[in-house]
Amino acid sequence: MDIKELIKKEIEKKGSIKVSDIVKITGLTRAGINKHLQVLKDRNEVVLVGKSNRTRYYFPGKTGSNNAELLRVHKVVLTKGLEEHNVLQEVKQSKEIFAGVSPEVQSIFYYAFTEMLNNAIDHSRSEKADIVVERQNESIYFSITDKGVGIFNNIIKKNKLKNSMEAIQDIIKGKQTTMPKRHSGEGVFFTSRIADKFILKSSKKKVVFDNVINDIFILDRKEFKGTQVSFWIGLKSEKTLKELFDSFSDNDYGFSKTEISVKLYKEGQEYVSRSQAKRILSGLEEFKTIELDFDKVKTVGQSFADEIFRVWLSEHKDKKITYKNANENIVFMIKRAGGK
Third-level CATH fold of 3-58:
Arc Repressor Mutant, subunit A (1.10.10)
The domain ranges of the chain are: 3-58, 67-243, 248-336
Give the pLDDT of residue 123: 85
- Model confidence over 50-75: pLDDT tens digits? 666 777 888 876 655 455 566 888 99
Provide mean pLDDT across the span 155-178.
Answer: 83
Alpha-carbon gap, residue 42 to 39, rounded angstroms: 5
Give the pLDDT of residue 181: 46
Assign domain 67-243 to its CATH architecture.
Answer: 2-Layer Sandwich (3.30)
- Give yes or no on whether 3-58 and 67-243 have one common fold: no
313 CB-near residues (< 8 Å, 6+ apart): 319, 321, 338
Alpha-carbon gap, residue 133 to 230, rounded angstroms: 10
pLDDT at 315 > cutoff 80:
yes
Alpha carbon separation from 243 to 162, 246, 267, 320, 340 (Å, rounded):
36, 5, 33, 21, 27
Alpha-carbon gap, residue 250 to 252, rounded angstroms: 6
Third-level CATH fold of 248-336:
Transcription Regulator spoIIAA (3.30.750)
Alpha-carbon gap, residue 36 to 11, rounded angstroms: 14
**Which pairing describes strands 139-146 and 215-234: parallel, antiparallel, or unpaired?**
antiparallel
- Model confidence over 244-285: pLDDT tens digits? 888 887 665 577 889 998 888 876 666 667 878 888 898 888
pLDDT at 106 > cutoff 90:
yes
